[in-house]
Chain A
């Protein structure tokens, strides 16, 4: 049987792809892009992690695992690991929850739906650093309108001293633009759900909340799962711009995430060895997390 199928396959392929080279050729652009922009730099980071060198690259010493042992014996590094987890899961959860809520609302709008949908997508076009500056101004303890509003309702806002408030600020800044992206996918997902299913449930007496949790939400699960992976990767890797523009990792170390440390130690501190070692650790963590997500969470997804 197996033999038969493979024979049939090769026949099939020889009919449609007369040259064996063609499929590879067609794959080439993607492979080249991956090799140049991912594999090559990632390989260099791994190599760099075993060396210590001066900023100008004039001298370079092989130090074995020194860069790694230094990380794992430093309490500050473990603190940043914890910060990263709190930050990333908050960003992913908040980003998904708010976007889903907005998408459900926008899906119900009948008049001017296009206007709402377009406006909700706009923030995605804002560069991360700009988004950071925007929220930084809004929440400036002395002059920011949001801070003044909070003070008015009795909350003393000062993210320069209060670490929890600083964390809230960076989570909001990092989430805000991601909501647009999530919104787009959720809206498309919602529109793909056949109306007949929802109507049938309604006829059977299911209220709006039951219809959402028993029908809509499970049917959206492929989208939700995809967005969960994308958002976690975003929070882990792409948020150093936002943090740099708002808190620079402070106060204390309360918003120093791992990727911000990679950026700061490497590009600001010019300590390339340690920065490379940190990026390798980060790569391994995100790789592991993705495996876990695909193995355990994806099982619950209904395609």
Chain B
């Protein structure tokens, strides 16, 4: 028996090689393609920089797949120490108090230096509790912006619209100049309802969008949002707007120059550069000038890193060290410039600016400015709503009924709010 143990230890040592004394930390993520390679690069940089811990990044598929696998693994007690979860999964993670290790607590208990004020509140706000403590570490955050076709704009003699009123007149001029459609949007719930509400400083749901309690109810069927969706319905009929599908399915409409404007994630900048064969510009998301004078910040999308319970003290020490490493200005600036995601610290933004990146790549700082120009309010801090993945599906369904001309905005949004509220009650019940 002893011999066997000895042999297996020897084999284990041989396999783990040089890093045999390093504590292993598994990090499950959802970054495919170029961003996935960058994640591996980041982990390697960390492993090279010290030899007490070894971070092992594991690609687990898209956001939902990664979250589902992490949860399944947790149920089977095989969970990773660190997992990347998309923003709409935040409420589910938060509610799972026995499963998560809040980042602020981890940092305090491991004695790592951690100053929350260094982080951009517009980004971290989404991931903090009622007392402002950071529960997870933002990793890749983006926000919707307006991309526009500079060549078509020049031909029509227009400039980037700032307000929804201008959206209409600019689009009409574009149509008159021969373009097929004015604008299209990706992620309709995120951009046209969630961010629309934030930008106009009106609630999307009661209880501070869910931050103040689980007994929240949807109010996105209020007059301002209804008027906006009703306007879009009218535009869908006359060609100013053209619906192109859920998620980012509408992007080809912009690439093929069918639509002159596209509302999409700021993190889509690199993809835009690769796919657009024309000169394009980036502008802030429009606002309704009749609703608000100075628009609020937009809210973020993307994902953050959650620490899971059930690991050893040593591993948590490693996780905390790694999170600190990730937050370093040079690491953040590099990630921000490479991927197009927002920087999470003020220092990283300043560093990027100092390096002349924004000057060399016009439009890449639009999202940062849109996020940080004003102090976030409780309507623009973010959303904390249970079962939100399903709610977004419901909103998709109801909005599609509007674009198809089957329902009016009021009827559709009322139905969406009613169906969504049922899911909120269910979440409240399952997590009480």
The answer, yes or no, to whether A269 is at the interface (CB within 8 Å) is: yes
**Nearest CB on B from A69, distance (A):** 13
CB-based contact A58/B96 at 8 Å: yes
A253 and B64 CA atoms in complex are apart in Å by: 21
The answer, yes or no, to whether A303 is at the interface (CB within 8 Å) is: no
The answer, yes or no, to whether B110 is at the interface (CB within 8 Å) is: no
B68 contact set on A, CB distance < 8 A: 267-268, 270
CB-based contact B99/A58 at 8 Å: yes
User: Per-position contact with A for B382-408: 1 when CB-CB < 8 Å, else 0?
Assistant: 000001011001001110110110100
CB-based contact B404/A163 at 8 Å: yes
User: Per-position contact with B for A106-148: 1 when CB-CB < 8 Å, else 0?
Assistant: 0000000000000000000000000000000000111100000
Q: How many residues of A contact B (CB 8 A)?
A: 33
The answer, yes or no, to whether B17 is at the interface (CB within 8 Å) is: no
CB-based contact B96/A54 at 8 Å: yes
CB-based contact B429/A252 at 8 Å: no
A23 and B387 CA atoms in complex are apart in Å by: 51
CB-based contact A251/B393 at 8 Å: no
Given the known inter-chain contacts A56-B98, A58-B99, A270-B71, please indicate yes or no for A252 contacting B244, CB distance below 8 A: no
Among listed B31-39, B164-172, B198-206, B251-259, interface-contacting one: B251-259
The answer, yes or no, to whether A218 is at the interface (CB within 8 Å) is: no
A265 and B64 CA atoms in complex are apart in Å by: 12
CB-based contact A249/B393 at 8 Å: yes
CB-based contact B431/A59 at 8 Å: yes
The answer, yes or no, to whether A293 is at the interface (CB within 8 Å) is: no
User: Per-position contact with B for A49-62: 1 when CB-CB < 8 Å, else 0?
Assistant: 00011111111010
CB-based contact B426/A271 at 8 Å: yes
Question: In A250-268, which residues have CB < 8 Å from any B CB?
Answer: 250-253, 256, 264-265, 267-268
A56 contact set on B, CB distance < 8 A: 71, 74-75, 96, 98-99
A-B contact count (CB 8 A): 102
The answer, yes or no, to whether B134 is at the interface (CB within 8 Å) is: no
Interface of chain A: mostly helix, strand, loop or mixed = loop
The answer, yes or no, to whether A76 is at the interface (CB within 8 Å) is: yes
**Nearest CB on B from A22, distance (A):** 37
A57 and B245 CA atoms in complex are apart in Å by: 34
A270 and B255 CA atoms in complex are apart in Å by: 35
The answer, yes or no, to whether A83 is at the interface (CB within 8 Å) is: no
Task: Look across to chain B and name the residue whose beta carbon is closest to the beta carbon of A137.
Answer: B252
A225 and B332 CA atoms in complex are apart in Å by: 62
User: Per-position contact with B for A195-235: 1 when CB-CB < 8 Å, else 0?
Assistant: 00000000000000000000000000000000000000000
The answer, yes or no, to whether B430 is at the interface (CB within 8 Å) is: yes
A143 contact set on B, CB distance < 8 A: 252, 255-256
The answer, yes or no, to whether A34 is at the interface (CB within 8 Å) is: no
**Nearest CB on B from A256, distance (A):** 8
The answer, yes or no, to whether B419 is at the interface (CB within 8 Å) is: yes
With beta carbons under 8 angstroms apart, the residue of B71, B401, B419 that contacts A55 is: B71
CB-based contact A55/B96 at 8 Å: yes
CB-based contact A160/B243 at 8 Å: yes
A249 contact set on B, CB distance < 8 A: 393, 397
B419 contact set on A, CB distance < 8 A: 76
The answer, yes or no, to whether A10 is at the interface (CB within 8 Å) is: no
A140 contact set on B, CB distance < 8 A: 252
The answer, yes or no, to whether B95 is at the interface (CB within 8 Å) is: yes
B429 contact set on A, CB distance < 8 A: 52, 61
A177 and B315 CA atoms in complex are apart in Å by: 47
User: Per-position contact with A for B71-106: 1 when CB-CB < 8 Å, else 0?
Assistant: 100110000000000000000100111110000000
With beta carbons under 8 angstroms apart, the residue of A161, A269, A273 that contacts B389 is: A269
A270 contact set on B, CB distance < 8 A: 67-68, 71, 92, 387, 389
The answer, yes or no, to whether A162 is at the interface (CB within 8 Å) is: yes
A141 and B423 CA atoms in complex are apart in Å by: 33
A162 and B400 CA atoms in complex are apart in Å by: 9
The answer, yes or no, to whether B246 is at the interface (CB within 8 Å) is: yes
CB-based contact B252/A58 at 8 Å: no
A256 and B246 CA atoms in complex are apart in Å by: 14
With beta carbons under 8 angstroms apart, the residue of B95, B249, B398 that contacts A160 is: B249
A57 and B423 CA atoms in complex are apart in Å by: 18
Most chain A beta-carbon contacts within 10 A, residue among B246, B389, B404, B430:
B430
A265 contact set on B, CB distance < 8 A: 390
**Nearest CB on B from A107, distance (A):** 41
With beta carbons under 8 angstroms apart, the residue of A52, A59, A250, A271 that contacts B246 is: A250
The answer, yes or no, to whether A248 is at the interface (CB within 8 Å) is: yes
A140 and B67 CA atoms in complex are apart in Å by: 29
B95 contact set on A, CB distance < 8 A: 54
B397 contact set on A, CB distance < 8 A: 249-253, 256
A59 contact set on B, CB distance < 8 A: 430-431
CB-based contact A268/B390 at 8 Å: yes
User: Per-position contact with B for A146-176: 1 when CB-CB < 8 Å, else 0?
Assistant: 0000000000000011110000000000000
A58 and B93 CA atoms in complex are apart in Å by: 12
**Nearest CB on A from B240, distance (A):** 15
Task: Look across to chain B and name the residue whose beta carbon is closest to the beta carbon of A53.
Answer: B430
A53 contact set on B, CB distance < 8 A: 430
A251 contact set on B, CB distance < 8 A: 397, 400-401, 403-404
CB-based contact A162/B404 at 8 Å: yes
With beta carbons under 8 angstroms apart, the residue of B250, B423, B430 that contacts A61 is: B430
- List, sorted by A's number, 9 A–B pairs whose CB atoms are closer than 8 Å: A54-B92, A58-B99, A143-B255, A160-B243, A161-B404, A249-B397, A251-B401, A252-B400, A271-B390
CB within 8 Å of B: which residues of A? 52-59, 61, 76, 140-143, 160-163, 248-253, 256, 264-265, 267-271, 273
Which 9 A-B pairs rank lowest in CB-CB distance, beginning with the nearest? A251-B400, A269-B390, A160-B245, A142-B252, A56-B96, A56-B99, A252-B400, A57-B75, A142-B256
CB within 8 Å of A: which residues of B? 64, 67-68, 71, 74-75, 92, 95-99, 243-247, 249-250, 252-253, 255-256, 258, 387, 389-390, 393, 396-398, 400-401, 403-404, 406, 419, 423, 426, 429-431
